[in-house]
Amino acid sequence: SIMPATLSAISNSAKSGILFKGGVHIENLSHVKAIAFDKTGTLTNGKPIVTDTYFHHDYDENKILQIVGAIERESTHPLAQSITKYSNENKGITHEFDVLEMKTVSGNGVTAVINNEKWEIGKPDFVGRKAAANFHNGISEALTAQGKTVVFAKMNEEILAVFALKDTIRKDAKKAITMLRKHGIHTIMLTGDNELTAKSLAREAGIDHYIADCLPEEKVKHVKDLRKDYGNVAMVGDGINDAPALASANVGIAMGEGTDVALETADVVLMKNDLSKLFNAINLSSRMNKVVK
Ligand code: ADP
Ligand code: MG
């Protein structure tokens, strides 16, 4: 049975924006020695802005933009939503497209068929690392060096466009990381994004360690490795992609505005997306544990 002290801790923390889905998670959180964070939507606001676009000279820019916008409209990924918004705001003559065979390749991008042509939209490795690196005389390297995420659009065997997007760090992220580190908790960022973008964000957030180019199943592996090294490990995330990693941590923590799958899988929810609540939650769980014991 749940002890009255546990119930009151759950209800008090809920009032301050931390939802524990049970007393056992309060106990587990008090023992956490390392916390892994997803990047996009967790450490960042997850609302990237399209800053640069480059198109293949032999094709109609407008048409590419609208096709990519039409495909990305079918995806829930934050990058996809931003690209669709950009496409809507910048299209000239309006074309209509039927998006067929839309598929999501988790941690990579999407594929679809339009007018019998096969489209692939996603990260460099997804469309072919070498072709991506050569597109527009290697512009993608310069873009990623600026901390931007690059998304390529490929039709059949040819790359037709690259989009650079810039996300912003959450205002509470740096403070939250600083507090955790002061408390002796190791912090790690796990991201599907590229090395340079990951590095620049990790530095900005003051995070101890980062792992880039991380597929969803690799996030699970890293969480398991962390458990071997640190014992009790929490994972914080927001995406469908993060759900398996949340489930494999001792404590899975979801951002309140995260996807349904993340919210359902998590043990703890930060209701206002406020990372500084993370430290409060750990503090509360430590005090709580002393009361119960
Ligand atoms: P993160 O761990 O940072 O949240 P994801 O694992 O969700 O990143 O995605 C990894 C990479 O895959 C993105 O940086 C992007 O390049 C690519 N990607 C994933 N989904 C899409 C999509 N719908 N449209 C374009 N690119 C995508
Ligand atoms: Mg995310």
Task: Please list the residue range(s) of the chain that carry CATH number 3.40.50.1000.
Answer: 4-45+170-292
Q: What residue ranges of the chain have pLDDT lower than 70?
A: 1-2, 93, 291-293
Give the CATH fold of the 49-166 domain. Answer: Calcium-transporting ATPase, cytoplasmic domain N (3.40.1110)
* 55 beta partners: 161
Measured from the Cα of 121, ligand 1's closest atom is 25
User: Which tokens go with 142?
Assistant: 């310069």
Integer Cα distance of 278 and 13 in angstroms: 11
180 class by beta-carbon count within 10 Å (0-12 exposed, 13-18 middle, 19+ buried): buried
pLDDT digit string (tens) for 274-292?
898 898 889 888 887 776 5
pLDDT digits (tens, 9 = 90+) for 122-141: 999 999 999 999 999 999 99
What spacing in Å lies between the alpha carbon of 123 and ligand 1's midpoint? 7
Which homologous superfamily is 4-45+170-292 in? HAD superfamily/HAD-like (3.40.50.1000)
Distance 68 CA to ligand 2 centre (A): 21
Residues 48, 166: contact at Cβ < 8 Å?
A: yes
Q: Which residues have C-beta within 8 Å of that of residue 240, sequence separation ≥ 6?
A: 76, 106, 259, 261, 262
Query: Whose Cα sits closest to atom 21 in ligand 1?
Result: 109
Assess whether the C-beta atom of 154 lies below 6 angstroms from ligand 1.
no
Residues of the chain with CATH 3.40.1110.10: 49-166
Answer for the pair 238, 259: CB distance below 8 angstroms, yes or no: yes
Cα-to-chain-centroid distance, residue 18: 20
Radius of gyration of the chain (CA): 21
Q: Rounded to an integer, what is the distance from CA 32 to the centroid of its chain?
A: 22
Give the residue, out of 102, 106, 151, with the most ligand 1 atoms within 8 A of its beta carbon, to mutate for a pocket test: 151
As for the ipTM of the complex, it is 0.94
pLDDT digits (tens, 9 = 90+) for 239-282: 888 999 999 999 999 998 888 899 999 999 998 888 988 988 89
Residue that is written with structure tokens 């606001």 in the block: 45
pTM beyond 0.95 = no
What is the whole-number distance in angstroms between the Cα of residue 242 and the centre of ligand 2?
7
Tell whether ligand 1 has an atom less than 6 A from the beta carbon of residue 123.
Answer: yes
Ligand of minimum distance to the alpha carbon of 140: 1
If you take atom 20 of ligand 1, which residue's CA is the nearest one?
109
d(CA 114, CA 127): 17
Q: Which residue reads 């450490």 in tokens?
A: 43
Cα within 13 Å of Cα(170), Cβ side: 22
* Residue closest to 254 by CA, chosen among 203, 246, 229: 246
